Amino acid sequence: MLIVFSGLPGTGKSTIAKDLAATTSAVYLRIDTIEQALRNSGAFAQDVGRSGYRVANELALSNLRLGHTVVVDCVNPVNESRIAWSEVASKAGARLVNIQVICSDKNEYQRRVETRKIDVPGLTPPTWQSVLDHEYEAWDEAPFCIDTAVVSPTQAVSIITRQ
């Protein structure tokens, strides 16, 4: 199974994705970590662009083909990246579960973004304005949605594992 967590920075998707991966012994792939490693390598004169997603797609595919469940933690802001995850699942013959994480309480969401601690060395935390300005296309088909304003990470993992 390929489980892709999508959502803007600060919604709580990394916390839930990590907890789910630990609970289910799944492979955990975080796009922020891959992109920062690419930046740190010095191989890119410019922004890494789609490279982090492409690396994650291949890592997910190879782990799915080994029979592992893969949990992906990413913003997944555009239809192109969403289609790529669908293609990965299809190539591996795996079920795809898209989970969008939101925080409907604007005050709580802003507080989280402004006090967020980043656990990827070298990664700069987003500002509230950068989150508001972040590109995030509407979904063609609505994914399973978790609202962290009303559900704790523990509750979210429980809901997901019952699906």
- Give the pTM: 0.95
Q: Measured in Å, how far apart are the chain's first and last C-alpha atoms? A: 12
Calpha distance 145→41 (Å, rounded): 35
When divided into structural domains, the chain yields a total of: 1
The DSSP H or E segment spanning 12 is none
Burial 85-118 (b: 16+ CB within 10 A, else e): beebbeebebebbbbbbbbeeeeebeebbeeeee
Tens digit of each residue's pLDDT (9 = 90 or more) over 32-68: 999 999 988 988 767 888 999 999 999 999 999 999 9
The lowest-confidence range among 69-78, 83-92, 135-144 is 135-144
Tens digit of each residue's pLDDT (9 = 90 or more) over 105-154: 999 999 999 998 888 888 888 999 999 999 999 999 889 999 999 999 99
Q: What is the CATH number of the domain that holds 118?
A: 3.40.50.300
Domain range holding 150?
2-162
What contacts 35, CB < 8 A, 6 or more positions away? 48, 51, 52
